[in-house]
Amino acid sequence: MSARTLCCLLLLGLALGQVQAEELPPVDSEHWTDEYDAYFRKYSKRYFGAHFDWRWFKAQAIAESHLKPAAESPVGAQGIMQIMPGTFYEIKEANPHFMSIKEPRWNIAAGIYYDRMLFRKWQRQLSEQERLLMAFASYNAGLGSIRKAYKRSPEPIRGWQDVAAHAPKETRGYVSRIQILRGKDLRRKGPASKGIWQTLSDKLVGDEAS
């Protein structure tokens, strides 16, 4: 099996993982509480600007905790945005008014602030949308892990889809869930673009024929 075919199979596995994510109701569904929407709006505007779609961060919070303020992971991440206590206190040093990691308002504020920090790390000719996806991946796996995945990815790198195959499986699923929750198509747009399955199928056929 050629390296190209192996890469395509890895990406096909990613696509199948995206299908499973489609089972989640979209972020605007009545399935999800709107109790914290004001906080998502407020801190999205503060840290990303008035033009930014705050629903991306609500989708991220659903992927993290299903919007449960008492959620706690086995490794100690807490709250709606699943912030690690050490990360929260580092953020609090720059934002002394952030009162408690356990309060939904400050947990959400810290999570979106941290997203902005990671967003600013990805400025290598990527679109705003792709930088956001890279920030989400970094939020989940750590900036160092996603930078390694970026370095392992062949050029040209246009965004997350080109890096995902080299990122942890959990992170691929995490970013996919956020995209599905927000109701955004996972395929690249453009007159020459195809759906991910058709593109991978074409590559596999080409490999087998060569």
User: Do 15 and 165 form a contact (C-beta atoms < 8 A)?
Assistant: no
Q: What percent of the chain has pLDDT over 90?
A: 74
Q: 54 with 45: CB under 8 angstroms?
A: yes
Q: What is the pLDDT of residues 167-197, one digit of tens each?
A: 999 999 999 999 999 987 554 444 333 333 3
- The least confident of 141-150, 157-166, 200-209 is 200-209
Dist. CA 25–CA 198, nearest whole Å: 26
- Whole-number Å distance between alpha carbons of 174 and 161: 13
Give residue 2's pLDDT. 54
Length of the chain measured in residues: 210
User: Is residue 24 within 8 Å of 173, Cβ to Cβ?
Assistant: no
Domains annotated on the chain, with CATH = 26-192 (1.10.530.10)
Half-sphere exposure in the Cβ direction for 68 (13 Å, CA)? 10
Check whether 207 has a pLDDT greater than 60: no
Q: Give percent of the chain above pLDDT 70.
A: 77
Compute the distance between CA of residue 172 and CA of residue 177 in angstroms, rounded to an integer: 9
Query: pTM of the entire structure?
Result: 0.79
Enumerate residues 6+ apart whose C-beta is below 8 A from 46: 112
Per-residue model confidence (pLDDT) at position 4: 53
| Closest to 120 in 3D by CA, of 49, 42, 38, 39 | 49
Put residue 15 in one of left, alpha, beta given phi > 0 → left and psi -120 to 50 → alpha.
alpha
Whether 9 has a pLDDT exceeding 60, the answer reads no
Question: What confidence tens digit (pLDDT) does each residue in 64-107 have?
Answer: 999 999 999 999 999 999 999 999 999 999 999 999 999 999 99
Residue labelled with tokens 């989640």 = 24
Confidence of residue 125 (pLDDT cuts 50, 70, 90): confident
* Amino acid residing at 97: H
